[in-house]
């Protein structure tokens, strides 16, 4: 049964990425052109997800919306992972008073409700960023805002791993030979912990995708005429009782995407643990 779900998750992700990638080269006109003759049509062979209130094909809108949701999820995961690794490595290497101060700061950030912190950062960055295009400001602000609330767990894991490996004989030998702190962390410690960190980084992607959708749903993310899965779900929520397909299909694609990521990454993590146990 697990293999079946794994194959299903992999097939869904491949199909989703292929369709979204294809939409970059072939811009679906039905996703942007309004047509009053096809307003709020139910799912059919011509429009498999139906159409929205402006007559646009909902399936194509989901693909176009997936571009923004996936890019924001990817960039936010990378930013949060980069900052979390740097923060945790610095804290773990220096230990002592610096470690205590940095960890108390990490715990302070974890105590702040993430929604409040993201909302404040997004609204502040949109007015401070030097970009003239408001959509670019929103995109960058959302990436930084989401990443600011998702780096703490990676920082704590990195700190623990650095504390463990800095006492290994090969690290002590590198210190004795005069290696700098940055060189030792990047060339001696990082190669030994990169598998664990890569899995954690990958796990950030579905979380940030879901968070971007939530922020767009409440009106703090990207704004029309651009589309993301959160905006499509928000539009569908307004007409749930009369036209449930407007909410059902974007929500289903978002759920399957997050679910597929977790299934695949759980399998990758299990394989990594098996290899580590075999080496031991």
Per-residue model confidence as pLDDT tens digits over 9-64: 889 888 888 888 877 777 665 566 777 777 788 888 878 888 888 888 888 888 88
- CATH number, position 142: 1.10.3720.10
pLDDT-derived band at 277, boundaries 50, 70, 90 = low
93 within some domain: yes
Domain span including residue 110:
46-279
79 within some domain: yes
Q: With CA atoms as reference, report the closest residue to 265 among 217, 222, 219, 202.
A: 202
pLDDT tens-place string over residues 53-77: 888 888 888 888 888 888 888 888 8
Single pTM value for the model: 0.83
Q: How many domains does the chain have?
A: 1
83 within some domain: yes
Distance of alpha carbon 69 from alpha carbon 223, whole angstroms: 12
CA 93 to chain centroid: 28
Distance of alpha carbon 266 from alpha carbon 269, whole angstroms: 5
31 within some domain: no
263 within some domain: yes
4 within some domain: no
């Amino acid at each position: 049964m697990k293999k079946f779900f794994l194959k299903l998750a992999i097939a869904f992700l491949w199909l989703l990425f292929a369709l979204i990638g294809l939409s970059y080269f072939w811009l679906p006109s039905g996703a942007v052109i309004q047509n009053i003759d096809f307003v709020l049509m139910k799912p059919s062979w011509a429009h498999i997800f139906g159409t929205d209130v402006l007559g646009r094909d909902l399936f194509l809108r989901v693909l176009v919306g997936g571009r923004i949701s996936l890019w924001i999820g990817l960039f936010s995961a990378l930013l949060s992972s980069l900052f979390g690794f740097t923060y945790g490595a610095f804290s773990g290497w220096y230990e002592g008073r610096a470690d205590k101060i940095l960890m108390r700061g990490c715990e302070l950030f974890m105590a702040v409700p993430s929604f409040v912190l993201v909302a404040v950062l997004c609204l502040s960055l949109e007015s401070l960023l030097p970009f003239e295009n408001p959509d670019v400001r929103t995109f960058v602000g959302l990436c930084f805002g989401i990443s600011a609330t998702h780096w703490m767990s990676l920082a704590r894991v990195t700190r623990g791993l650095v504390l463990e490996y800095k006492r290994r004989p090969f690290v002590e030998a590198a210190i004795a030979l005069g290696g700098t702190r940055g060189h030792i962390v990047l060339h001696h410690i990082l190669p030994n912990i990169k598998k664990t960190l890569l899995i954690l980084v990958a796990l950030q992607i579905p979380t940030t995708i879901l968070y971007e959708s939530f922020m767009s749903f409440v009106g703090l993310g990207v704004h029309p005429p651009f589309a993301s899965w959160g905006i499509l779900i928000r539009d569908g929520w307004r007409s749930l009782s009369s036209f449930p397909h407007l909410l059902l299909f974007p929500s289903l694609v978002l759920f399957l995407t997050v679910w597929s990521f977790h299934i695949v990454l759980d399998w990758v993590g299990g394989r990594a643990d098996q290899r580590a146990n075999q080496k031991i």
